[in-house]
A and B are shown apart, each in its own frame.
Chain A
Amino acid sequence: MENNFCVSARGLTKKYSKFTLGALEFDIPMGFSTALIGANGAGKTTLIDILCGVVHRTEGEVTYFGSDKDIASPELRERIGYCASNAFFPQGFTAKDIAISMELAYKSFDRKKFAELCEKFEVDSEFTKKPRQMLKQSDGNRMRTSLAAVFARSTELLVLDEPGSSLDPLMRDRLCDRMRDYLDEGDGRKSIIFSTHNIADMENAADYAVFMDRGKIIEIGFIEDLKEKYIIARGEAKDYEQAKPLMMSSSANRTVFDGLALAENAEKLAEMGVDSETPTLQQLSIGLLKYAEEQR
């Protein structure tokens, strides 16, 4: 039977002295873009580092593409493209050094494509006269160069840690387009996992979402399904106390209130005169993270 998950985890745990990730159980669907969403310290980067073999898990199993290959396998690493949130490449490296290093490290690295992508992302390429070292570039340009390098490889899974955090809104939009193109090129065989705080800007790039809080997954699913599962309830302040028990998280001022609620409560809320609407990913994220915070 064909496995339709690019990554599956069972009992995945990472223990640090002051933080524990997991135990996580999840299946990330193949052919889609998955957003890891959570507050700072939720464990997104730790999870990404484990998935890419940068950090070792303490317990549990991770399966990639339904095969039994471990992330230590060079063959598997060739299929996975990884980009860390900042200072991914050495500070002394120029685009030329990156090209030399990546060409030696990865069989599928396309040096010409890397130069083209660098030009498309408006950063120094290896053919730029006197390309600048990473140290002398802004965070945004460093991220653009790192993204150009990872997109210049032939991979089946991209794992990007905060790819949009240091990019300007226009570049974030271009990145979303590039991510969409990547998925389209794969025809259902290529997947992306990325973490983000810029939920509104990256919403176009995400199909599936994993919400994390303090090392645990609090919600997971296709964004379209989650938008049907939850609603944003909005009403007048006088109805707040009555509606509050039906909402997961909410906030109110003197005149109005709004909050996240389960769609199954929409009818009851409507009877109270409370309107409901489909949440955006941003509203969903804030509502779920607030709920998790209140439940601690």
Chain B
Amino acid sequence: MKKYVNAFRMFFGRCNLSTMVSFLAVMAGMIIMVAGLETATAGGDFTAGMTAGMSIMLAGVIPLTGLIFLNALYAYANPATPGHKYFLSIPDSAEQFRRAVIAANVFSLALGLVLSAVMCVVFTLLHIDFGMTYFGLVILFALLGMCNFTGYVRNIAVRLVVICGLFAFTGFAAGFFSAGDDEEEITLGMLYEKAPWLVFVLAGTALLLFAAGLVYSIAVSRRKWVRE
């Protein structure tokens, strides 16, 4: 365990801790603000609408948390990134990179899960719908998987296209299968009511994508890390 944390710190210094803490602090601040508003206005229509919007927005942040560390880590495999030569020159660099990939996946997942858990607890207490949080989690797993698959692609545009494509596809699929009332936002709960199989397919695919991506990345990391 220590080896993996050390490898992670080797690639991120102490940036990881400060980034993680500040990110969680901002998120916690927003959630508390939403909770405060909801309590203060005793569930008025305006605040209810705003908090619902906030919950959707915060749910969208969950998958993005997965990209923070992984994207930064895979960037070091690109010769154009400052720091590339330093990391390549350290002893046992390929093994350190492999460990850092595993640690970055775990940290990214943990960050997303912690954020989701906080949102679920707070929103449950305030009776705010948090169905989108689950959606965010599903996308988080899928994004981590895609990031692992495309991590060694040197053209960042390719990775961004894949990630944007994934977002677009998920949104399209959700919209297509839960369509009926145009004025309501789509939640995983709604989708589950209308097409439960699709929810399982989406969640299963996301998990599979994550597992396959991680296995692939670990398997090829040594070969891809070392410049030919």
| Chain A residues proximal to chain B, CB less than 8 Å | 49, 52-56, 74-75, 77-78, 82, 84, 87-94, 96-98, 100-101, 104-106, 134
Contact = CB atoms under 8 A, between A and B. Distances in A.
B82 A90 contact: yes
B108 interface: no
Interface in B1-48: 6-7, 9-15
A53 B89 contact: yes
B92 interface: yes
B181 interface: no
Contacts of B12: 97
B161 interface: no
Contact of A98 (B13, B81, B91, B228): B13
Contact of B82 (A54, A87, A94, A97): A87
Which of A75, A91, A93, A98 has the most chain B CB atoms inside 10 A of its CB? A93
The 3 A-B pairs of least Cβ separation, nearest first, read: A97-B13, A90-B83, A74-B91
A90 B7 CA distance: 15
A101 B9 CA distance: 6
B82 A105 contact: no
A131 B13 CA distance: 13
Interface in B78-116: 81-83, 85-86, 88-92, 96
B226 interface: yes
Interface of B: 6-7, 9-15, 76, 81-83, 85-86, 88-92, 96, 226-228
Contacts of A98: 13
A55 B6 CA distance: 25
19 contacts: A52-B89, A54-B85, A56-B226, A74-B91, A84-B86, A87-B83, A88-B83, A89-B82, A90-B13, A91-B83, A93-B15, A97-B12, A98-B13, A101-B11, A104-B6, A105-B10, A105-B96, A106-B90, A134-B82
Nearest to A79: B91
B88 A53 contact: yes
Given A54-B88, A100-B13, 4 more contacts: A88-B82, A90-B86, A96-B14, A104-B6
Contacts of B90: 77, 105-106
B91 A77 contact: yes
B14 A90 contact: no
A92 B76 CA distance: 12
Nearest to A133: B15
Contacts of B81: 90
A77 B96 CA distance: 14
A77 B227 contact: no
Given A87-B83, A90-B83, A104-B9, A54 B227 contact: yes
B13 A96 contact: yes
B89 A93 contact: no
A55 B82 contact: no
Contacts of B6: 104
A16 to B, nearest CB: 10
A159 to B, nearest CB: 9
Contacts of A54: 85, 88-89, 227
